[in-house]
């Protein structure tokens, strides 16, 4: 494999610094992709297309700039750690609307905290809920392939990351239910991505119900990354808090992470929230009182308005659908093509993702992400190895061009 890939995560890390522990994960996916393509000349006379990075490039609501401008005086104030009543109640109302919760189910002050994008919250939560080294090393469960912040958080917290394959055989979701009891007993934190980057599937009610029950039985925090919750094709994915609301036990042991990056195509705004278990939210806020991140007041004001508005999201979804249509027309059933239920990624089985990414760059000037760089393990032990991830974040014309190039280049 090109670039420094993941090495076995050391079993004893008590004396390692945070950076030494993170170094064990090897280079991040984008650095590895740069190394893979360095020295390969992209096809001449073709416009270079970047479909590797999952950064939405749709136009974002024009109101964002005005809303921030309206609150410009607030650049002169420190933002409160807990956010503002305006922001928290917009989030609580959105959660209740989106997940058909009985009004009042989400308490804005005890169930919600602002975060500077979901990545920040997903990383920090491990530092909050994973106990320091003890006789039995705590475990952090994460899907494999995984979003890079989960692995960094797990390793950074000093816990033992347990990568659980999320492959075609397991319905592209991790089978946490079959883990040995000994592992579950040590588990402090479990990540789930639904809708899942990169596979594009989402967990149904029964999967979530079982996983919530497992979290409660073994006393771990279930961190559900729902940052793609609004980017879906046919039907809206159910959320973990929605399932909690159908059961007893309130939001105990469950946190969900949301973001405006995908929903409102504003990855640069750095605005999201974490919601759920009131004890975990209180611990998270206490931790943040000692650390730096806060969301600026003008950003909170613009964010509140975005969470209040569902119309722009309908348009965003429609434009992703048009791109899935285009991909479906160009690729048919090649490379195991499946329309994603949610997210904006194609997860194509091209047998050798690294070779395909190199070939698409050399022959078609198209950058895509080898699946291996999103997964853990060497060679065939890495469940991402046969795949490439194609992020449909550019406009329709560029997408049509990119999927046509894939169809023409790969056999």
| CA angle, residues 302, 305, 308, in degrees to nearest 5 | 150
- Minimum CB separation of residue 371 from ligand PLP in Å reads 14
Give whichever of 218 and 232 is closer to ligand PLP, judged by the CB atom. 232
CA–CA separation, 310 and 315 (whole Å): 9
CA–CA separation, 92 and 273 (whole Å): 10
Q: Which x/- pattern, by CB under 6 A, does the window 251-290 give for ligand PLP?
A: --------x-x-----x----x------------------
Contact 91, 111 (CB under 8 A): no
Other Cβ atoms closer than 10 A to 169: 9
Give whichever of 42 and 293 is closer to ligand PLP, judged by the CB atom. 293
Residues 19-78 that bind ligand PLP (CB under 6 A): 54
Give whichever of 184 and 241 is closer to ligand PLP, judged by the CB atom. 241
Please report whether residue 142 would count as binding ligand PLP according to CB under 6 A. no
Q: How far is CA 86 from CA 227, 260, 302, 307, 336, in A?
A: 21, 16, 10, 11, 45
Considering only 56, 117, 371, 383, the residue that binds ligand PLP (CB under 6 A) is 117
- Minimum CB separation of residue 196 from ligand PLP in Å reads 8
- Minimum CB separation of residue 281 from ligand PLP in Å reads 18
Contact 202, 230 (CB under 8 A): no
Token pair of 333, please? 């059933």
Give whichever of 196 and 348 is closer to ligand PLP, judged by the CB atom. 196
Half-sphere exposure of 311 (CA within 13 A, CB side): 3
CA–CA separation, 171 and 107 (whole Å): 34
Give whichever of 259 and 294 is closer to ligand PLP, judged by the CB atom. 259
Using CA of residue 201, residue 206, residue 212, residue 218, what is the dihedral sign? Answer: negative
CA–CA separation, 75 and 289 (whole Å): 20
Give whichever of 218 and 273 is closer to ligand PLP, judged by the CB atom. 273
CA–CA separation, 127 and 123 (whole Å): 7
Contact 156, 130 (CB under 8 A): no
Please report whether residue 118 would count as binding ligand PLP according to CB under 6 A. yes
Contacts with ligand PLP by CB under 6 A: the residue count is 13
Considering only 111, 197, 265, 382, the residue that binds ligand PLP (CB under 6 A) is 197
Please report whether residue 159 would count as binding ligand PLP according to CB under 6 A. no
Choices 56-64, 115-123, 287-295, 374-382 (CB under 6 A): range interacting with ligand PLP: 115-123
- State the residues that interact with ligand PLP by CB under 6 A: 54, 117-119, 147, 193, 197, 225, 227, 259, 261, 267, 272
């Amino acid at each position: 494999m090109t670039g420094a890939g993941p090495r076995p995560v050391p079993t004893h890390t008590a004396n390692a610094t945070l950076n030494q522990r993170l170094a064990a994960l090897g280079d991040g996916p984008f650095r590895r992709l740069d190394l893979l393509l360095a020295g390969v000349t992209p096809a001449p006379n073709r416009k270079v297309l970047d479909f590797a990075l999952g950064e939405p490039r749709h136009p974002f609501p024009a109101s964002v700039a005005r809303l921030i401008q309206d609150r410009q005086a607030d650049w002169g104030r420190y933002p409160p750690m807990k956010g503002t009543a305006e922001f928290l109640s917009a989030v609580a109302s959105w959660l209740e609307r989106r997940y058909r919760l009985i009004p009042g189910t989400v308490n804005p002050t005890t169930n919600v905290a602002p975060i500077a994008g979901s990545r920040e919250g997903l990383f920090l939560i491990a530092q909050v809920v994973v106990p320091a080294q003890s006789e039995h090393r705590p475990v952090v469960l994460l899907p494999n392939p995984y979003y890079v912040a989960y692995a960094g958080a797990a390793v950074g917290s000093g816990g033992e990351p347990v990568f659980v394959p999320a492959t075609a055989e397991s319905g592209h979701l991790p089978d946490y239910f079959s883990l040995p009891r000994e592992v579950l007993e040590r588990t402090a934190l479990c990540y789930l991505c639904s809708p899942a980057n990169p596979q594009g599937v989402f967990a149904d009610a029964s999967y979530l119900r079982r996983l919530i029950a497992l979290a409660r039985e073994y006393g771990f925090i279930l961190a559900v990354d729902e940052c793609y919750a609004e980017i879906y094709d046919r039907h809206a994915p159910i959320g973990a808090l929605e399932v909690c609301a159908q059961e007893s036990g309130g939001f105990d042991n469950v946190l969900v992470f949301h973001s405006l990056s995908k929903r409102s195509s504003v990855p640069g705004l750095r605005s999201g929230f974490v919601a759920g278990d009131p004890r975990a939210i209180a611990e998270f806020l206490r931790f943040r009182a000692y650390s730096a991140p806060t969301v600026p007041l003008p950003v909170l004001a613009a964010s509140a308005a975005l969470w209040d508005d569902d119309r722009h999201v309908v348009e965003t979804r429609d434009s992703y659908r048009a791109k899935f249509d285009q991909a479906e027309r160009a690729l048919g059933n090649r490379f195991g093509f499946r329309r994603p239920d949610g997210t904006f990624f194609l997860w194509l089985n091209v047998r050798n993702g690294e070779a395909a990414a190199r070939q698409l760059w050399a022959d078609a000037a198209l950058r895509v992400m080898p699946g291996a760089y999103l997964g853990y393990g060497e060679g065939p032990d890495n469940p991402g190895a046969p795949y490439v991830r194609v992020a449909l974040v550019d406009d329709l014309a560029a997408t049509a061009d990119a999927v046509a190039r894939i169809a023409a280049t790969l056999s």
